[in-house]
Amino acid sequence: MSRREDSATAKQANLPRTRVSIVRAENYNVDEIRDAVRMGIELIGGLDKVIKPGNRVFVKINHLPPASLPERGIVTHPIFAEAVVELLKEAGANITVGDDIEAGPGDRFAISGFRQMCQRASVRLVNLREGGFVATEDEGRLIEPIYVSRIALEADVIVNLPKLKTHSLTILTGGVKNMYGTIPASLRHRYHRDFINIDDFSLMLTDIFAVVRPQLTIMDGIVSMECEGPAGGNLRQTNIILAGQDAVALDTVATSIIGLNPEDIGTIRHCNERGLGVGCLDAIEVTGASIGSVAVPDFQPSSASTRWLTVRMSKPLPSRIMRFVMRQTVVQPRVAVSQCTGCEECAKICPTGAATIVNEIATINKAKCIQCMCCHEACRYNAIVLRRSLVGNTLYWLVKIARKILRR
**What is the spatial distance between Cα 83 and Cα 391, in angstroms, rounded to a whole number?**
49
Residue 331 has a pLDDT of 80
Residue 327 has a pLDDT of 63
Q: Say if residue 247 is in the same domain as residue 322.
A: no
**What is the spatial distance between Cα 37 and Cα 186, in angstroms, rounded to a whole number?**
34
Q: Say if residue 318 is in the same domain as residue 204.
A: no
**What is the spatial distance between Cα 42 and Cα 53, in angstroms, rounded to a whole number?**
17
301 located within any domain:
no
Q: Say if residue 206 is in the same domain as residue 330.
A: no
349 located within any domain:
yes
Could you say which of 237, 264, 294 is where a domain stops?
Answer: 294
Q: Say if residue 203 is in the same domain as residue 337.
A: no
**pLDDT per residue as tens digits for the range 37-51:** 999 999 999 999 999
Name residue 27's amino acid. Answer: N
Residue 303 has a pLDDT of 72
| CATH number for 245 | 3.40.50.11440
Q: What percent of the chain has pLDDT over 90?
A: 75
Q: Is the pLDDT of residue 308 over 50?
A: no
Q: Is the pLDDT of residue 80 over 80?
A: yes
Could you say which of 269, 294, 319 is where a domain stops?
Answer: 294
Q: Say if residue 312 is in the same domain as residue 165.
A: no
Q: Is the pLDDT of residue 210 over 80?
A: yes
Residue 85 has a pLDDT of 98
**What is the spatial distance between Cα 255 and Cα 104, in angstroms, rounded to a whole number?**
33
Q: Say if residue 343 is in the same domain as residue 236.
A: no
Q: Work out how many domains the chain is built from and give that number.
A: 2
Q: Say if residue 174 is in the same domain as residue 220.
A: yes
300 located within any domain:
no
Q: Is the pLDDT of residue 297 over 80?
A: yes
Instruction: Show Cβ contacts of residue 316 under 8 Å, excluding neighbours closer than 6 positions.
Output: 322
Residue 259 has a pLDDT of 94
The strand pairing partners of 363, in sequence order, are 356
Q: Say if residue 36 is in the same domain as residue 143.
A: yes
Residue 311 has a pLDDT of 43
Q: Say if residue 388 is in the same domain as residue 311.
A: yes
Q: Is the pLDDT of residue 84 over 90?
A: yes
302 located within any domain:
no
3-state helix, strand, coil in the chain (%, to 5): 40, 20, 40
The arithmetic mean of pLDDT across residues 115-126, rounded, is 98
299 located within any domain:
no
Could you say which of 294, 319, 348 is where a domain stops?
Answer: 294
199 is in which domain, residue-wise? 3-294
Nearest CA-CA partner of 216 in 74, 99, 90, 58? 58
76 located within any domain:
yes
The arithmetic mean of pLDDT across residues 149-161, rounded, is 98
| CATH number for 397 | 3.30.70.20
Helix (H/G/I), strand (E/B), else coil: 247: helix
Instruction: Name the band, by pLDDT with cuts 50, 70 and 90, for residue 128.
Output: very high
Q: Say if residue 266 is in the same domain as residue 327.
A: no
Q: What is the pTM of this model?
A: 0.86
Q: Say if residue 167 is in the same domain as residue 263.
A: yes
Q: Say if residue 181 is in the same domain as residue 283.
A: yes
